[in-house]
Structure 1
């Protein structure tokens, strides 16, 4: 497989996967739902990823692959996640999690072997977690005892994606019982699994899950299993910090990937709402439905602005990338799940069906929770943020302009990533910089200027407020008040991401740009949330957003913040019903 297969952009994969609404398409939505019910993914869709050369996406360009920028990697995988999160995760993103520590700390020989496996389309899972310890990697019990020529592995790893068919696996093993928890583990790239002695290695039965049913999660058991010393990745005892540094990348990619579920569901529900006739009008004409649809569109852009900014910050502001990535991984899945729930309300009873044209919406809603947990759940990410908040302040200078420009970035340098960043925060500076906020407020409505003023004040004081917390409340003993500060920081990052995007000047009302009133809509969604609900927009704002969404679909573009061309044949406009067939409200609710 050539790393440059047809430039292998997202539209090349989109074309290979075909129209998702075509019921005869073996890689479409119907096939995805049927395969999910059977606990698998559609074979044709998997073969499309093979033809696209998906494995090269996880191999750095310097090693012959196509991986350069983190935001571009997430964008290129959009077509797979739009159709089936199990396809996107099962085929590749878990291999990315395993590959990143090897690219960062592995030997040249390890990198070459791993690159060859991935380029051949072979999955390489990551075996970090143990069910008894959750996200606490430092508590893991699987051990690697040194021997004369390597290691002896003992223990079990569970819920490993693709454990059944992997040729190699990256294992986190306890190697130094006498050191502190952060220096007690080592990463081992265990290869040729089928050649390991039968008495020392076993693949355990598959776990079944409520969502992501197509992901094949199983376990691996090592019992006195010999592994050569050449399997060691990086420095002995540095496995946890190496893994945590790599998490910054995978957190951004999985957050961004989850937004593709929302984009696909929003497109499907807009299609439904435009064709479903109710009370003499289409569902799309009903004010409540319009409010929910417009809110979901705003939330999609809000989530994607946040995830994209966090991904680009790894290149341009890598010292603070851990905090920003954790904030994105915390907030974006919440926005996605909330918007998916709102879309299910618009679907009504159809949202519960596991068959039919719109069953994909329910599947995406079930899968979204699994994608959000990934290798680090929301609370784990919030704690990462909370520990870095005391003393945080806006940076003296605004961030690199390319943070929001969309211009191509150089290949990611993993060696520049840090676990703890400086207290001068570039995104908080976006909110307090009078040049940026002034230009944004210049043509904005009074309510938008009020929001910008409140955001600037919060950005200046969040580090002071966090420093006032007792030290014990900044870690695993954090209470709801402390976690609320982590949540606030994540929302400040989201607001700064949207303001930076707006100031970059890509708001022009065209299908490829953004509509007037966009900044006000997204800021109100993130700042003035009540529980899980974003503040609804005005009828005028909702109409503008939905008109823009309609222009996107007419132009053959996705609904994403940065739209891609998509293969979606639109239905014919609905015919107006004959008066005698108009449905009327009943005591039982929506017909």
Structure 2
């Protein structure tokens, strides 16, 4: 559980903690992975979090996994990516399409603390996987992959490679190989690619030259590599942004420590209205991000065939919302946000590391491009009168069935239930007037999208889509995020989550995404959010939806 890992890693602000922020920043300055923390994660058995329960691990639900990993990401994103997420990204392909034998062997490797690298990226083609050139003709690898996390220090590789020279979506396959089974003279490692952030992570590459791989290495059916990747991306595009919410938690905590301990113009910096507004808005951003991530994660369990749309759009919304919030918080810290030593030095490292969620296989525009072709059918089949989603996807902490990897679908086939929530809120009696107004605004937005998406021609939804066409899934993302927030609030059982304050604030922030507001919070909302934030800070509780106990 997150609390157990928090206790094991200790208070990161404690200068006597050998795993604290001072040592994390020092490792970053040396451009090294934080070895002592990796050893502590081995002791915790972190890799078990990526192995489904049926194979001997602790991976029960996607939302639980994300919350556990937030304890790592809120301390050091390099650990979050280089220790955990890289193995998780590789693993979901095996759980989604691997044979029983491959899954069993893979689970044993992870449970033995072995590292697995996902060997996907080619700089020449970026997100265009259909053009990837690394080939595995005749079960022999030829070509190169670049900007691969842990390529050199991983024990096993999940490799995406071309298995047919023909164009199209059935020309690539995936392979699971143990590096011990590869002739070492047929593979070479590229130097680390310089990067602004994630300086401790090994972001290198690998070159294969007529390198034979075992006959049983292929994951799934031949030519299904892209399909497997697109199904697996639904898990990574949901879980990784949810994990990375921990970065904004620390960003907020750093800003609070700075502003409550600093006096400007005769009063605490935290009492200045401009400062309070920025901090409160960042808190609202964190809550809306958590709601969207958590509801999408739970949707993958309950409605796996419908999850392709929210799973792509959650990455689009959350990545930019987190980056923007951290950038605004940097203005609160002033010159302290870029100083690389002292009490607040962790902030500059987090700000640089956070950029990782904006690139790679899940670049934001790629997420929109994944959803755009689905919008005309959604407009026809679901949006005019969508059925309501199941209550369970909003009820935090309630039981979920195991993740049905084999039921994940590349397309939702025009089915969507989440977008129906704002319209259904209008039937509620006694609803807070401002909440009713905001729900009506997002219900109207969906009606407008229904008309606009319905008018799209097939040629307007492909790779040459215009900015105007891509704006349709971008606006849909805001509607789905608002729906997630409304659903969580509606099903809350009391406490802060049952208070309309946070959901009004979250939806107010989202109005800027659809051009129907500036996203700024009025003073009464700011006061209520600041009160909750400061109380949690004093009580050492997290700033996310669950407000669990943390170390420091």
Q: CA 1:559 to 1:533, structure 2 compared with 1: closer, same or farther past 3 Å?
A: farther
Name the residue aligned to 1:119.
Answer: 111
Name the residue aligned to 2:134.
Answer: 142
Name the residue aligned to 2:403.
Answer: 412
Name the residue aligned to 2:393.
Answer: 403
* One of 438, 446, 451 as aligned partner of 1:451: 438
Q: Is the 8 A contact 2:248 2:325 kept in 1?
A: yes
Cα shift at 1:507: 4.9
Distance (Å, rounded) in 1 between the aligned partners of 2:309 and 2:281:
27
Name the residue aligned to 2:481.
Answer: 494
Name the residue aligned to 2:80.
Answer: 88
Per-residue CA deviations over 1:326-360 (Å, capped at 9, x if unaligned) read: 00011101110111011101111111111111121
Q: Secondary structure at the match of 1:199?
A: helix
Name the residue aligned to 1:172.
Answer: 160
* One of 428, 438, 454 as aligned partner of 1:467: 454
Cα shift at 1:41: 2.6
* One of 434, 438, 457 as aligned partner of 2:427: 438
Distance (Å, rounded) in 1 between the aligned partners of 2:431 and 2:93:
46
Q: Secondary structure at the match of 2:226?
A: helix
- Give the TM-score of the pair, scaled to structure 1: 0.90
Name the residue aligned to 1:582.
Answer: none
Q: Secondary structure at the match of 1:309?
A: helix
Q: Is the 8 A contact 2:377 2:413 kept in 1?
A: no
Deviates more, 1:322-331 or 1:395-404: 395-404
Cα shift at 1:553: 2.1
Distance (Å, rounded) in 2 between the aligned partners of 1:514 and 1:88:
31
Name the residue aligned to 1:50.
Answer: 42
CA RMSD of aligned residues (A): 1.7
Matching of residues 438-587 of structure 1 within 5 Å: 438-439=427-428, 442-445=430-433, 447-509=434-496, 513=497, 515-529=499-513, 535-568=519-552
Name the residue aligned to 2:96.
Answer: 104
Q: Is the 8 A contact 2:70 2:243 kept in 1?
A: yes
> Which of the two has higher C-alpha Rg?
1
Q: Is the 8 A contact 1:386 1:474 kept in 2?
A: yes
Distance (Å, rounded) in 2 between the aligned partners of 1:514 and 1:11:
24
Name the residue aligned to 2:198.
Answer: 212
Q: Which runs of 5+ in 1 are unaligned?
A: 1-8, 569-591
Distance (Å, rounded) in 2 between the aligned partners of 1:165 and 1:533:
48
Q: CA 1:529 to 1:417, structure 2 compared with 1: closer, same or farther past 3 Å?
A: closer
Cα shift at 1:230: 0.7
Distance (Å, rounded) in 1 between the aligned partners of 2:176 and 2:243:
26
* 1:331 maps onto 2:321 in alignment: no
Distance (Å, rounded) in 2 between the aligned partners of 1:473 and 1:363:
41
Q: Is the 8 A contact 1:263 1:558 kept in 2?
A: yes
Matching of residues 415-426 of structure 1 within 5 Å: 415-426=406-417
Q: CA 1:86 to 1:437, structure 2 compared with 1: closer, same or farther past 3 Å?
A: farther
Report the count of equivalent residues.
547
Distance (Å, rounded) in 2 between the aligned partners of 1:106 and 1:524:
44
Name the residue aligned to 2:230.
Answer: 244
Q: CA 1:80 to 1:12, structure 2 compared with 1: closer, same or farther past 3 Å?
A: same
Q: CA 1:532 to 1:69, structure 2 compared with 1: closer, same or farther past 3 Å?
A: farther
Q: Which runs of 5+ in 2 are unaligned?
A: none
Q: CA 1:318 to 1:479, structure 2 compared with 1: closer, same or farther past 3 Å?
A: same
Cα shift at 1:217: 1.1
* 1:66 maps onto 2:54 in alignment: no
Name the residue aligned to 1:577.
Answer: none
Q: Secondary structure at the match of 1:388?
A: helix
Distance (Å, rounded) in 2 between the aligned partners of 1:262 and 1:102:
31
Q: CA 1:514 to 1:557, structure 2 compared with 1: closer, same or farther past 3 Å?
A: farther
Per-residue CA deviations over 1:548-569 (Å, capped at 9, x if unaligned) read: 111212332111112221111x
Q: Is the 8 A contact 2:475 2:513 kept in 1?
A: no
Name the residue aligned to 1:158.
Answer: 146
Name the residue aligned to 1:575.
Answer: none
Name the residue aligned to 1:322.
Answer: 308
Q: Is the 8 A contact 2:21 2:75 kept in 1?
A: yes
